[in-house]
Amino acid sequence: MSVKNVIMITRILEDVISDRLFTGKTILLLGPRQVGKTTLIKGIFQKHAGRSFWMNADNPEDRALLNGINSLRARELFLPGTLVVVDEAQRLENSGLTLKIIHDACPDIQLVATGSSSFELTDKIKESLTGRKWSFRLFPISFKEIELHTNFLDLIRSLEVRMIFGSYPEVINQAGREKEVLHELISDYLYKDVFTLKGIRKPEILEKLVKALAFQIGSQVSYRELSNLVQADKETVERYIYLLEEAFIIFRLTSFSRNLRSELKRSHKFYFYDNGIRNAVISQFNPLSLRNDTGALWENLLISERKKVNEYHRRYRNVYFWRTDRQQELDYLEEYDGRLHAYEFKWQDSAPIRAAKAFQAVYPDSDVKLIHRDNFMEFIKS
């Protein structure tokens, strides 16, 4: 794709957020660096030209003004009917209190704040903005967004590239330079941002942990196993995994169980929000024909894409994987509207799902579907 095409990709959340404007609540947009938060908000901002006010907390002057703001000053700066954006709000000394002051002092404006990592903001604003905010999370570009911008055929042609290099905007933008872009990304927001967070006393342990998780995507793993792998205590591993989740690098599925003895409990599967970041962590960019982890990459891609579509369309579902002590397993479960919907992911094999009969014998009011290359768009768009 050309630079022009990529820049113009419309994000699903743009319409979702636009529908929430001037409804009496502050809008908070979170997500990792370089996924397009500022670009998305600028698109909305430009539609309110003349009645908008942009502040960037990375700018020392804007940060100083915001850090010292009071109710009177807020009313002087922000006129009724104005769209007010505070970009990179995590840079503020007390972002929660600052946003609360503006929100309460100026009830007739629309306040929008963006932040690059949820723990830097949510811990500060959780109490301050209770009942006063809409929260959204933005991820790397979704397959649905790519398809809307190009077409289904181009999307299918790019499937292997997306499985290997992921879908960060700059990665798509810089075709042919994906490796360089990805290594810059993990250097900037993983090895610089995350590794310098409070509570990271042993960055070398965190680096080992990220790599261990990258090698085990889609595999069942316990905290005890991980602690043995990285030679750290279980509490440290749990804390570091929490930080990686809050930094939008990884997410987890827990095992599904309704207290049946044969079903495994307290186990997890970890996935990366982006295949490219995962492959950059282990410096593995070989084509699929030369890899032995294609199935794991396919599973990671499908579950991360499903997570995007559920999040963007505000579909609140419980998600799991299912496995028994007899090695019967289903890759992904969603529970909603009182029913279980199970999925098995296959890159090449389209044979019947072995565990389907065992699963439906226990949970008869469920459905089980096989997701493969011929029908995957149905799964990640529906």
- Residues 250-287: pLDDT tens digits? 999 998 877 655 555 667 899 999 999 999 999 999 99
Kindly give, in sequence order, each residue whose CB lies less than 8 Å from that of residue 297, ignoring residues fewer than 6 positions away: 163, 164, 217, 275, 278, 279, 288, 291
Our CA angle for 283, 307, 277, nearest 5°, is: 10
The values of phi and psi at residue 96, to 5°, are -60, -50
Least confident of 16-20, 147-151, 309-313, 344-348: 147-151
| 8-state DSSP, 86 | E
* Residue 300 · residue 291 · CB < 8 Å: no
The pTM assigned to this predicted structure is: 0.91
For the chain, which residues make up each domain, given as ranges?
3-137, 145-381
How far is 65 from 198, CA to CA, in rounded Å? Answer: 26
| 8-state DSSP, 288 | G
Q: What pLDDT sits at residue 6?
A: 44
- Residues 45-70: pLDDT tens digits? 999 888 899 999 999 999 999 998 99
- Residues 108-166: pLDDT tens digits? 999 999 987 655 555 566 667 778 899 999 999 999 999 888 888 888 889 999 999 99
CATH of domain 3-137: 3.40.50.300
- Residues 200-238: pLDDT tens digits? 777 788 889 999 999 999 898 888 899 999 998 888 899
The interaxial angle of helices 203-215 and 234-246, nearest 10 deg, is 80
Give the rounded percent of residues in the chain with a pLDDT score beyond 90.
Answer: 59
Q: What pLDDT sits at residue 29?
A: 94
* Core vs surface per residue 58-89: b (16+ CB within 10 A) or e: eeeebbeebeebeeeebeebbeeebbbbbbbb
The separation between the first and the last C-alpha atoms of the chain, rounded to the nearest angstrom, is: 25
